[in-house]
Structure 1
């Protein structure tokens, strides 16, 4: 994430913006990136448990209402809704969740998802 922040600052400075806009924009981007990095660094680790056979989803032993997975290339975004209604998201880089485990998680979540509305067979 630090590399992306540095590249973002460089891109703002390298674009065609006038210097009067580019430097404040780069400074703003740097401050926002630092705040995000601090937020993610202080985020506590958690254990998400998915058991499709029993339709059980838990995070640190607490039951979950819903679980979502979004895969964007090698990155996996896992989100869940706690019983109090709040959504929590975690980002998994390829070094934490390889392709085989990502696929296994996708299959487990599909088994938990309710079946889509069945099409009508009436003619």
Structure 2
């Protein structure tokens, strides 16, 4: 006789915190720095390439800061497949995976499409599995009926 109570997927909703990724912010800053190096290494005259390189570096820093300043959100998916983000109901929830990256697309209460992306530094393996299990499953495409000759 097991000592632990049986768990039911219907009783426990999936609750995930989305937060800005430091890894993504660092990549944006690095891309800005690499763009600055690329601009100075091209055949532009020096009076044009230096301001453009500084602009590239400043834009990379701005994008990195903007990513880190985005507010945290909570994604809740219940057993029926109903979802909410930040306490507001959403529709058309879809989860896509690209390796360790998780992308959640949905429509907010105003009908606007939104997207959240979890990087490996913001979604640990246990929560990643929880999202895979709670995500709505798309119906398989029906095979076209074969034609008889």
Partner secondary structure for residue 11 of structure 1? helix
Higher relative contact order (CA 8 A, sep 6+): 2
**Which residue of the partner structure matches residue 90 of structure 1?**
116
- After TM superposition, the structure 1 = structure 2 runs for residues 20-99 of structure 1, keeping only pairs within 5 Å, are 20=45, 22-51=49-78, 53-99=79-125
Larger gyration radius, structure 1 or structure 2: 2
Q: How far apart are 1:22 and its partner, in Å?
A: 4.8
Instruction: Give the direction of change, closer, same or farther, for the CA distance of 1:88–1:97 in structure 2 (3 Å limit).
Output: same
Instruction: Give the direction of change, closer, same or farther, for the CA distance of 1:62–1:2 in structure 2 (3 Å limit).
Output: closer
User: How many matched pairs?
Assistant: 120
Indicate conservation of the 8 Å contact 1:74/1:99, yes or no.
no
Partner secondary structure for residue 141 of structure 2? coil
Instruction: Specify which structure has the higher proportion of helix.
Output: 1
Q: TM-score, structure 1 length as denominator? A: 0.71
Q: Gaps (5+ residues) in structure 2?
A: 1-23
Q: Gaps (5+ residues) in structure 1?
A: none
